[in-house]
Structure 1
Amino acid sequence: MKLLPAVLIALTISTASYAQQSDICSSHTVVRGETLRIIAERYLGTRDQSPIIYRANRAVVGGDPNLITIGMVLNIPCAPGQTGGQTVVAGAAPAAAAAPAALAPAPAAPAPAATASAGATRSLGAPAASAQTAEFNGGLIALLSEAPFTGADLPNGGAMPTIMAQALMRAGEGMPAVSLSTLGSAQSLEAMYQDARLEVGFPVIRPNCFSGNLSGVSRNLCNDFYFSAPMFEVVTTLFSRKADDLEISTAEELAGKVVCIPDFYPFEELQDLGLALDSTTMTEPGSISACFDQLWSGEADLVYADFLSVDNAIGNIDLRGDVAVISRFTWTKTVHAVSHNGNAQGVKMLSMLNEGFANMVSSGEWRAMMRDLLS
């Protein structure tokens, strides 16, 4: 199992080309919505160069590079190949500089690789400002639609985009466009392997990567993807028709039952019990709602899912009266965002998410937002 590395080291390494750069080429007046990373992308070509701008303006910005104010005038160091007439002195206030030269428009994003566009995507209502809403142009991808975590018809695209947008803002990063994949679980992960613009996917329930009974999807997640900090906690269990009056207390009594498992639900716990889940004992129609359709029709005997998502998919199970819970089999799982470990930009975005999320947890903001989102 791979753990998210200390990618802050990468930020230091990425500034090496500027290590000897001391000239100032222009100045910039901060406007609403800007961060040092956004300004660095405009003038120096990549957001990773924001520490260069911060070091040149520490006396003005202060001790926290995430706190810049509207109207603040910043010195902009020269990019490689440029020359300027000023020299940065550590701790010195920025001097007046010439106005920045006009920038050429950024090139249009390339079309997705053929292997990554086999299915459609539709835009979620991410709360951050973005002009890229009609067509997916990279960043975050919702791998499936399950309320309350994601959904095109949910406020701000669901609970997880809302939390992630706030975390990125706290880390000084803007929320990129979010799209909802219709590729399906395995195909969505395959797309993230092959299209580097698919930087971060969510929501993903973390498998037990130490199990010897991982599914193909779970094995790929454990071997080839980094996980963000856990953003939600859910309890998974087995649901049945109350009319079937299934009295199951041991794994042996589950033998021969057909279990419906929604996309991205790791089921190694069931196989660790000794169940042999194969094409004759498992069905995977996609969503939780589809699984319950199979349960009502008799195609499946059990549904494996979490309480929170089931309540959102079919309504409050306590009030319905027709759903039974096989309470002997329950597991607490965590919900994450993931990035392919070969996608440098995605790994950096996970680092930003973790940084902002830690700030939200320590301040109590996350708990307050969770109460609002899940009430």
Structure 2
Amino acid sequence: MRPNLIISSLALAAAAGAASAQEACSTYEIQRGDSLRELTIEVYSTEDFRIIFDANRDVIGNNPNIIRVGDVLTLPCLEDIGRAPAEPQTEAEAMAAEMASELVKAAEDRAAKAIAEAKKASDDAVIAARAEAKKEIEAARSEAAALIRNADAAEQPEIRDRQLLLITGGNYAPFTDEALPHRGLYTNLVETAMLRAAPEQAYKIQFVNDWSSHLDLLMPTLAFDATFPWSRPVCEEPAALSEKDRNRCETYNFSNPFYEVVDTFFAREGSGYEQTLTYADFAGTTICRPEGWSLSHMDSVGLYEPAISLMRPVSPDDCFHALMDGTTDIVAIEAHLAVEAIGRLGYEHRIIENPNLAAIKSLNVMTHKDNPDGEAILETLNQGLAIMQQSGEWRDIVSTALRHQMENG
């Protein structure tokens, strides 16, 4: 009989499971070393484990922190969770997308075969084969992007003939940091979008780690053309926004979302706040939200002073220390940052994520409304993003970066 082994679903997997072979619209039997977060990354290219958790509460129960080896989970179809890729608008675009997919797949198949043959020779041959494979696949992706781009009958955005200057900051793994591969997941997405939509456009991305200076000084003076990644408040509901978020909506234009993060709440195990089903249960608590993080999610559900007390330190680490020493009751923060910090600080199994009250927050590129090229820049990036999503390149970039983050912290 199979032992009824219980494993933590939100911890990093202890070993590589069989999840990598899984696809949406199927079922999956939990293996030793799996985690809900890892499985969600492999199947849906997101850390939002609630996609699988919500579809399998009858199997998992009410606690997503516990999954059992041998349980069989249903993996929802992309269409059922609103993640199906956009359909081509014309027959020409559909044909171009199909040809592009075949072009890239053929290059990947040739690369895999060449690497397999090289393994029969020597380690040096494998290194050379992988380098050549990388070049061939990139050439195929560029050609595929051109096919999709040229099939689009819409007028291409015009940017003045000059180098664009984009700004981002560090210490925001896995999205932006100069020490990360490709300088971060989000940086890689932005650069690839620009390459696919406007390969001749000159641009430069500069890192300024004082994030507040982006919006307080550098963007308003038009020293830079765009900044990323920033969350987009619900600009359609200005009355529910804080003054800072209203100002962001009034001052900036936003790209389509390049990525989405889970904004959620963490509490000490046994406090009750890690399991509550309603925001009303947070009334009278002290909630820690690091300085600089938008309050729009909390404002929209009534979590503002005086209903709650707000603590705003500079560092997310300070929030988790405050939670453990009892000076705050709840930490409101992005899930991927929390998982990394909790593990690094040694608070695993003592600080628990509430799976019931999370919200999805988009990460966007922003341009200042006074920038005459701003809308054209965003339109170009949106076109590049669409090409990447159609070709599957977006998924490849995201999955690779998230896997690196899980394996390396």
Same-fold status (TM-score > 0.5)? yes
In the TM superposition, what are the counterparts of 1:34-183 in structure 2 within 5 Å? Answer: 139-142=165-168, 145-171=171-197, 172=199, 173-183=201-211
Q: Normalization by structure 2: what TM-score?
A: 0.53
Q: Which residue of 2 aligns with 1:120?
A: none
* Runs of 5+ unmatched residues, structure 1: 1-62, 68-105, 107-136
Q: Which residue of 2 aligns with 1:341?
A: 369
**Alpha-carbon separation, structure 2, partners of 1:364 and 1:147:** 23
Would the aligned equivalents of 1:214 and 1:268 in 2 still touch at CA under 8 Å? yes
Give the aligned residue type for 1:206. Answer: R
Q: Determine whether 1:235 maps to 2:262.
A: yes
SS in 1 for 2:229: strand
Given the alignment, which residue of 270, 285, 299 partners 2:327? 299
Q: Normalization by structure 1: what TM-score?
A: 0.57
Deviations 1:201-223 (CA, angstroms, capped at 9, x unpaired): 11112212233221222112211
How far did 1:340 drift?
1.0
Higher helix content, 1 or 2: 2
Would the aligned equivalents of 1:145 and 1:180 in 2 still touch at CA under 8 Å? no
**Alpha-carbon separation, structure 2, partners of 1:183 and 1:227:** 17
Q: Determine whether 1:188 maps to 2:214.
A: yes
**Alpha-carbon separation, structure 2, partners of 1:284 and 1:257:** 14
SS in 1 for 2:299: helix
SS in 1 for 2:319: helix
How far did 1:360 drift?
0.8
Would the aligned equivalents of 1:206 and 1:266 in 2 still touch at CA under 8 Å? no
**Alpha-carbon separation, structure 1, partners of 2:396 and 2:219:** 35
**Alpha-carbon separation, structure 2, partners of 1:218 and 1:144:** 22
Would the aligned equivalents of 2:165 and 2:206 in 1 still touch at CA under 8 Å? yes
SS in 1 for 2:297: helix
Q: Which moved more, 1:356-365 or 1:270-279?
A: 270-279
Number of matched residues? 243
TM-aligned CA distance change 1:287 to 1:169, over 3 Å: farther
Q: Determine whether 1:270 maps to 2:301.
A: no
TM-aligned CA distance change 1:192 to 1:166, over 3 Å: same
SS in 2 for 1:207: coil
Deviations 1:288-334 (CA, angstroms, capped at 9, x unpaired): 33332332343322111222232234438999211112233111221
**Alpha-carbon separation, structure 1, partners of 2:208 and 2:326:** 30
**Alpha-carbon separation, structure 2, partners of 1:198 and 1:276:** 33
Deviations 1:231-280 (CA, angstroms, capped at 9, x unpaired): 11222111112254435333332112111223553333323333333697
Q: Which runs of 4+ in 1 moved over 4 A?
A: 316-319
Q: Which residue of 1 aligns with 2:340?
A: 312
Q: What CA RMSD, in Å, does the superposition of the two structures yield over aligned residues? A: 3.2
Q: Which residue of 2 aligns with 1:209?
A: 235
**Alpha-carbon separation, structure 2, partners of 1:336 and 1:200:** 10
**Alpha-carbon separation, structure 2, partners of 1:153 and 1:193:** 24
**Alpha-carbon separation, structure 1, partners of 2:378 and 2:372:** 10
**Alpha-carbon separation, structure 2, partners of 1:245 and 1:279:** 18
SS in 1 for 2:294: coil
How far did 1:366 drift?
0.6
% identical aligned pairs: 27
Would the aligned equivalents of 1:204 and 1:264 in 2 still touch at CA under 8 Å? no
Would the aligned equivalents of 1:205 and 1:333 in 2 still touch at CA under 8 Å? yes
SS in 2 for 1:198: coil
Would the aligned equivalents of 1:142 and 1:150 in 2 still touch at CA under 8 Å? yes
Give the aligned residue type for 1:194. Answer: P
TM-aligned CA distance change 1:318 to 1:289, over 3 Å: closer
Deviations 1:51-75 (CA, angstroms, capped at 9, x unpaired): xxxxxxxxxxxx98x89xxxxxxxx
**Alpha-carbon separation, structure 2, partners of 1:277 and 1:218:** 16
TM-aligned CA distance change 1:261 to 1:217, over 3 Å: same
**Alpha-carbon separation, structure 2, partners of 1:329 and 1:318:** 24
**Alpha-carbon separation, structure 1, partners of 2:333 and 2:305:** 15
How far did 1:165 drift?
0.8
TM-aligned CA distance change 1:306 to 1:201, over 3 Å: same
**Alpha-carbon separation, structure 2, partners of 1:268 and 1:164:** 25
**Alpha-carbon separation, structure 2, partners of 1:180 and 1:312:** 23
TM-aligned CA distance change 1:264 to 1:369, over 3 Å: same
Give the aligned residue type for 1:203. Answer: P
Q: Which residue of 2 aligns with 1:220?
A: 247
How far did 1:196 drift?
0.8
**Alpha-carbon separation, structure 1, partners of 2:351 and 2:222:** 42
TM-aligned CA distance change 1:290 to 1:325, over 3 Å: same
SS in 2 for 1:235: strand
